Structures are given as C-alpha cells and as structure tokens.
Structure 1
Amino acid sequence: MTVTIAPAAPQDVAQLRQLYFDVYGHGYPVPLGSDPAEMRRLIDDPHTHWLTARHEGAGRLAGSVAVQTDPGGRIGKLVGLAVHPEQRGGGLAARLTASVCADAFATGTLDSVYATVRVVTPGPQQVFARNGFQALGLMPNAVEVAGCESLALFARYADGVLARRENVGAVPRALVPLLDAAWQSTGVDYGRPRRTDAPAPAADRSAPVTAPMELITAPGFVRRRFLELLPDPGERFFPLHVPNTVLTPPDGAFEAYADLDRAAASCSLIAVHPSPAAVAGALEPLMAAVTRAGADYVETLLPLADTAGLDAFLAAGFIPSAVYPAMRRIGDRFHDYVLLSRTSRQIDFRAAAVSGRLQPYLLAYLTAWTSTYLPLPEVSP
C-alpha cells in the first residue's frame, strides 16, 4: 500500500495523539505528542515543519515527524519522529526524516538541524546516520520516558557550514577526551588547542557553597526578567529553549535561568547573569534546589572558547557530554559549543545500544566521570 507524506493539519491532532500513544504509551513527555493546544499551535507555526505519513485510503496515520526552528539562531530541532509499530521495518522513519530535513533546509534560514536520539535500540541511530546526521555526544539519564533513559545528540549541517568554523586557542584539559572522541566519530578537526588546567578555588566566592538557593517558577515573570537582564541574544544563546524558572542565592549575586521540565525530569540551565562563571561555588545548592523540584538531570551549553564558564561547571561535577561544532553563526564564521551535564541518578549503560559512532563518546564520558568522581588516591613515597 502506498504511503503519502504530507504536512500535518489541525484536523490530524486526534490521530497524532493516538499515534504517539501507540508508540510510547503514557510515557511520552513531549507536549508535541500529548498536548492538543500545543500541537495545534505548532501545526500553525510558520517556523515548524510537521509532516505526517498516511496510507492512501486508510484512516490511521502511519508516522509523524517535525522540525522546530529558531530563525534567530538559524538552528532546527527534529522532534517527534514516530512510526506506528505495525509499519516498522519498511524504511518509513528514514523517509520521514529525509523529507522533513529537505523542507527545513530548503528555506535557507538554517545552518544545522539537531536531534536527541533514544539509545534503547540501535534503529533510531541508524536512521539519523543514514540521513547525513553526525553523532556529537551522549547525555546519560537525560529524560524520563519509560523509565530513565540516556539520549544521543546528532546534527546535520547545511553545505559549507563546517568549513567556516572559528578556531579555539585554548580549552580546559578535561575537554580533551571529548574533542578526541568527536574527531574519531565525525572527522571534525579541532586542531591542537592549548590545554589549560583548572584554576585553584577562589578565596572570595560570590556565594558560599552552603548558601540556600531560591527557585522561582513563574514563567511570565521569568521570561520578562530574562529579556531585561540579557537583551543581547549572544548572552542567552540556547536555541529552542525558553526559561520558565530562575534560581538565585539570597544575596542576589547571580540569577540562573532554566527550562525546568518536570514531566521529563530534566532541566536546562539557559543563561546566568552576570556570567556563567558567577555560579562558581554555588552550583551545589543550585543542583539541590533543582533536584527538589523534580529534575534528576541538568545540562548547560557553553561556548568552547569560554574557559572560565567551563571551568566553573567542571569544578561542580558537570561532565562534558557533547560538542556541537559550528553551532552558532557570528558574521560569516561559526563557533563551537559544549554541552555539559550532571545527573543525580545512578548511571546504567547496560540497556543502551551504543552504535560505533557513539562508542568514542561513551569512552570519553566514562573517562571524564571517573576522573571527576573517582580520583586516584595519592600514594606516599
């Protein structure tokens, strides 16, 4: 039977919800497949490309996929790729992925499209690899779907983007295994940046390690305050994430803006005012506050060139999890970013189907985690 791929329409919402239920049961944490109002908004959104697959003459949907875009950041995110269990094995996931990427890149407004991919089975990784996506890293315990799951980061680029990357002169030594893994997996060359050692702890921290952290979840207020304090888009670069929470110590030394997703048990730290390095010494109480709010996984995104910000998060137990080459365009050049993550749950990779493209990242993560949490004891002569 012929399958037709076409843009999603508002009248498809009920069938789309049924499709995501058939694929994920009640465990799908993304509003795109569960919230009718949000689904209708995205279907009507000119910055979202949403495609469905349907058998000709049949009433039930066979598949769905969408790319949400951030025109200002020139980045898209592929989300909601789902194929009905009865239709798997026929290449429909690959067809949907190819079609939605072609639509998104055809606008000329995107430099890259990324996806976070489940690693419970090898199939999704193969679909993205066959469609020109490159593996960029692993995020352990990143989401609550049918239990706690790890995700992989993949990205596909517009022509010529990777050739216009800006070189970085120095990186923290702790990032070297991750950059080596990226070179092995993608062939992207990071050159030979100078390796810097972590600085000694500062004597005058902006907030004591034991300072309590105030967490405010008022989405409207948080967004207004966020834009007031960080009017420059470059200071709040975290594409396709909008803060709904702000965390601050009682003395107001900094304000950390986050996208807290209780359904997925995850949190993205989007930006810190006055700078990412301002949270040095206060990330432990910040993590405690986020954990109490229901997030077992926390991630942040920093420029590869921001050694001060990277050092602050590395010192607080964040692990370099993924590197996104050419993520942000400034003028005619592209700048690399690093995703760092921390989880409060025990990490278990036994159920993960890690493909060959992801193996270097798994080894790099284990190396970084071991050096952070299992330091070698000093041996007296």
Structure 2
Amino acid sequence: MTVTIAPATPQDVAQLRQLYFDVYGHGYPVALGSDPEEMRRLIADPHTHWLTARHEGAGHLAGSVAVQTDPGSRIGKLVGLAVHPEHRGGGLAGRLTADVCRDAFATGALDSIYATVRVVTPGPQQVFARNGFRAIGLMPNAVEVAGCESLALFARHADGVLARRESVGQVPGALIPLLEAARQSTGLEYGHPRATDGPALPAGRTAPVTAPIELITAPGFVRRRFLELLPDPGERFFPLHLPNAVLTPPDGAFEAYADLDPVAASCSLVAVHPSPAAVAGALEPLMAAVTRAGADYVETLLPLADTAGLGAFLAAGFIPSAVYPAMRRIGDRFHDYVVLSRTSRQIDFRTTAVSARLQPYLRSYLTAWTSTYLPLPEVAP
C-alpha cells in the first residue's frame, strides 16, 4: 500500500490519540499524544513541525512524529515518533524522522535537534543513527512509561555548527570519563582539558541546609517570578522547558526553578537564582522535596565551562550523564553543555538494549556512580 506523509491537522487528533494508545497503551506520559487541547495547540503552533503517515485503505494512522522548536535557542526536540504495530518493519520510522528533520532544518532557524530515545529495544537507536543523529548520553531511570525506563540522548546538528565549537580549558575531574565516552561514540574532540575540582560551597554559605526546602507549585506565579529574576535568556538556558515549580530554603538564599512532571516521575532543574552554585549544601533537602512531589529522577543542564556549578551538583551525588556538543550559540561560536542526573530508584540495566554507540556512556556512568556511591574500602596496613 502507498504511504502518504503529510502535516498533522486538527481533524487528525482523535486518530493520533488512538495511534499513541495502540503503541503505548495507557503509559504514554507526554501530552502530545494524550491531551486533545495540547495536541490542537501544537498542530497550530508555527514553531512545531508535526507529520503523520497514512496507508491508503487503512482505517487508522500508520505513524506520527513532531519536532518542537525553541526559536530563542535555535534548538528543536524530536518527539512522539510512533509507528502502528501493524506497519512496523518497513522503514516508516526512518522516513518520518528524515522528513520531519528536513522540514525543521529547512527553515534555517535551527542549529540542532535532539531526541530522548527509549532503550528497551535497539530499533529506535538504529533509526536515529541512520538519520544523522549522534548518541550523546545515557540517562538511567529518566521516565515512567511501562515502568521505570532509561533513555538515551541523541542529537543532530545543522551543517557547519560543530566546526565552531568553543574549547574548554578545565573541567571537574569527574567529567573526564564522560568526555572520553563522547569521543569514542561520536568521534568529536574535546581537547585535553585540565581536571580540577570546583568549590564545594558558594560564597556566603558556611554550612549545609538542614531545614526542609519549600516547594511552590503555582505555574503562573512561578513563571512570572522566573522571568523577573532571570530576564537574561542566557541565565535561564534550558531549551523547551518552562518551570512550573520553585524550590527555596527558609532563608531565601536561592530559588531553584523546576519543570516538575509527576506523571513521568521526572524533574528538570531549569535554573537557579542567583547562580547554580548557590544550591551547594542544599541539594539533599531539595531532592527530598522533589521526591515527595512524585519525581524519582532529577536532571539539570550546565555549561561545560561552569566549573563551580558542575562541582556543586557533583558533590551532591549528581552523575554526569550526557554532553551536548555545540548546544548554545553565543555570537558565532557554540558552547557545549552537560546533563547531570540523579535518581532515587534502584538502577536496573538488565532489560536495557544498549547499542555499541551507547556502551561508552554506560561504562562512564557506572564509573561515576561507583566512585560517588561505593567508596573504596579501607585496607588495614
């Protein structure tokens, strides 16, 4: 049968919901495939490229995929790639991926597109690798789909972007294995940065926070406050994430803005005022507050050059999980960013299909996790 790939329309919403149900059951944690109002909004959004695939004669959609873009950061996220179980094995996932990326990059408004990829089977990893995406990290326990699942992070760049990356002279020593994993997997160079340790506590804080962290979940208020405190987009660089919660200690020493998703059991720390290093000494009670709110997985995004911020999160048990090359454009140069994550659940890789491209990241993660949570036993002389 002939396959027709075309932009999604509002009339497709009912069949799109049925498609995502047929693929994921009740476990799909993304509004793009489950919330009719949000789906219609995205279809009408000029910054979203949404394609559907239909087989002639079939009574349902055969596939779907979208790229949501953040014009300010020039980054897109590929989401919602799904192929109906009756139409798998014919290369449709690859066609959808190729077409939606072509359309998104053709606008000239994007420097890169990234995707979080399920690793319960090797198929999705192969689809992205065949379409010019590089594996850039592995994030254990990142989402609740059919149980707790790990995700791989893949990225594809526009022509010429990777040649304009800014080098970094020093990084916390705990990041060296991750950069080596990235070299092995992507072939990209990260130079030979000097290993150093960032400060454990920011200026002005002399002791860890022990009082409970206050969590405010009022999305409208949180976003207004977020924009008031951080008017410079460079201070709140976390593409395609908007905070819906803020965490703060009783003394108001910092405000940590979070995109909290209890359905997916995940949380992204979008930005911290006055600086990421300000949460040093407070991340344990902050993690406790997020866990009580329903998130077992927390991640944050920091520049590879931010030694102080990286050091604060590393000291609190966050593991370097991914490195996104040339993520942020400043002038005519591009800067690398690091994803750090922490999970409160036991990690189980037995059902994870880790391809050769992801193996270096798995080894890097295990090395970092072991050195953080399994200190070497002392040997008596």
Fold-level match, TM-score > 0.5? yes
Which residue matches 1:216? 216
Partner residue, 2:245: 245
Q: Is the 8 A contact 1:301 1:338 kept in 2?
A: yes
Quote the sequence identity (%).
Answer: 88
Please name the residue that 1:186 is paired with: 186
Question: How many pairs does the alignment contain?
Answer: 381
Partner of 2:99: 99
Is the 1:143–1:150 contact (alpha carbons within 8 Å) kept by the matching residues of 2? yes
Quote the residue 2:167 is aligned against: 167
Contact 1:211/1:282 (8 A) holds in 2: no
The equivalent of 2:197 in structure 1 is 197
Partner deviation per Cα, 1:24-53 (whole Å, 9 max, x = no partner):
000000000000000000000000000000
How big is the shift at 1:56? 2.2
Equivalent residue letter for 2:258 = A
Say whether residues 1:330 and 2:323 are aligned partners.
no
Distance 2:315 2:368 in 1: 12
**Which has the larger displacement, 192-201 or 280-289?**
192-201
2:23 is aligned with 1:44: no
In the alignment, does 2:47 pair up with 1:70?
no
Q: How far apart, CA to CA, are the structure 2 residues paired with 1:203 and 1:236?
A: 21
What CA deviation, in whole Å up to 9, does each residue of 1:261-300 have, x standing for no partner?
Answer: 0100000000000000000000000000000000000000
CA distance in 2, matches of 1:210, 1:107: 50
Give, in whole Å, the separation in 2 of the partners of 1:50 and 1:41.
Answer: 11
Q: Which runs of 5+ in 1 are unaligned?
A: none
Shift of 1:375: 1.1
Q: How does 1:175-324 map to 2 (within 5 A)?
A: 175-199=175-199, 205=205, 208-324=208-324
Equivalence for 2:87: 87
Pair 64,199 (structure 1): closer, same or farther in 2 beyond 3 Å: same
Query: Which whole-Å CA distance do the structure 2 matches of 1:246 and 1:315 have between them?
Result: 22
Indicate the SS of the match to 1:61: coil
Q: Within 2, Cα distance between the matches of 1:61 and 1:300?
A: 36
Deviation at 1:208, TM superposition (A): 3.0
Letter in 2 for 1:177: P
Q: CA deviation at 1:57?
A: 3.7
Shift of 1:378: 3.0
Structure 1 stretch displaced more, 209-218 or 45-54: 209-218
Question: Does the CA-based 8 Å contact 1:207-1:282 persist in structure 2?
Answer: no
Conserved 8 A contact 1:206-1:279: no
Distance 1:52 1:274, change over 3 A: same
Q: Which amino acid aligns with 1:150?
A: S
Contact 1:49 1:100 in 2 (8 A): yes
Measure, in 2, the Cα distance between the counterparts of 1:201 and 1:274: 14
- Rounded to whole Å, the distance in 2 between the matches of 1:332 and 1:198 is 28
Deviations 1:317-364 (A, max 9, x none): 000000000000000000000000000000000000000000000000
Q: Secondary structure at the match of 1:167?
A: coil
Segments of structure 2 that go 5 or more residues without pairing to the other structure are none
Answer whether contact 2:113 2:157 (CA < 8 A) is retained.
yes
How far apart in 1 are the matches of 2:130 and 2:349? 24
1:347 and 1:19 map into 2 onto residues whose CA distance is 30
Q: Which moved more, 1:196-205 or 1:160-169?
A: 196-205
Alignment of 1:299-378 (within 5 A): 299-378=299-378
CA 31–202 in structure 1, closer or farther in 2 if over 3 Å, else same: closer
* Alignment-derived partner of residue 133 in structure 1: 133
Would the aligned equivalents of 2:258 and 2:267 in 1 still touch at CA under 8 Å? yes
Query: Residues 256, 206 of structure 1: CA spacing in aligned structure 2 closer, same or farther, 3 A cutoff?
Result: farther
- Judged with a 3 Å threshold, the aligned counterparts in structure 2 of structure 1 residues 370 and 115 are, in CA distance, closer, same or farther, namely same
TM-score by length of 2: 0.98
Q: Per-residue displacement from partner, 1:162-199 (whole Å, max 9, x unpaired)?
A: 00000101000000000000000001100001110354
User: Is 1:5 the equivalent of 2:18?
Assistant: no
User: What is the identity, as a one-letter code, of the residue corresponding to 2:65?
Assistant: V
**What displacement does 1:377 show?**
2.4
Segment of structure 1 superposing worse, 55-64 or 319-328: 55-64
> Quick check: 155-164 or 55-64, which moved more?
55-64
Match of 1:115 in 2: 115
